[in-house]
């Protein structure tokens, strides 16, 4: 029997390769292939990001309409930051 470079004989690898092939065939016939799962996850992530962006833009529009400054003297003291903290209680996607 021919030896491979890492010390196994070809006949030693046949059961391993056939079991891997069986797993690959089973994997291809799943109800939800990986590509479908990834697309669904991407759609969920995009929807969450869309909601967060909507909350941020409407918060900025509110501050502009009221004539209020967006930021304060420190990072956590600004009107935008405080408004986003307040809105994140209602809309969890808008957390900071």
93 within 8 A of 55, measured Cβ to Cβ: yes
pLDDT of 71 reads 84
Domain map (residue ranges) of the chain: 33-94
Contacts 24+ apart (CB under 8 A), 63-71: none
pLDDT of 60 reads 94
pLDDT of 35 reads 87
How far is the first Cα of the chain from the last one, in angstroms, to the nearest whole number? 64
C-alpha to C-alpha distance for 96 and 84, rounded to whole angstroms: 7
The 3-state DSSP composition of the chain as helix, strand, coil percent (nearest 5) reads 70, 0, 25
What pTM did the predictor assign? 0.59
pLDDT of 67 strictly over 80? yes
Averaged pLDDT of the chain: 78
Spatial CA neighbour of 59 closest among 88, 80, 82, 75: 80
Phi, psi for 72 (deg, rounded to 5) = -105, -155
Percentage with pLDDT > 90 across the chain: 29
pLDDT of 47 strictly over 70? yes
pLDDT of 63 reads 95
Mean pLDDT throughout 29-47?
85
């Amino acid at each position: 029997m021919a030896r491979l470079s890492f010390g196994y004989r070809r006949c030693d690898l046949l059961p391993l390769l056939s079991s891997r092939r069986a797993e690959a065939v089973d994997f291809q016939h799943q109800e939800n292939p990986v590509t479908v799962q990834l697309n669904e996850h991407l759609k969920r992530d995009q929807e969450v990001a869309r909601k967060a962006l909507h909350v941020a833009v409407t918060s900025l529009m509110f501050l502009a309409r009221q004539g209020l400054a967006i930021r304060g003297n420190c990072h956590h003291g600004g009107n935008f930051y405080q408004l986003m903290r307040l809105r994140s209680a209602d809309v969890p996607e808008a957390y900071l």
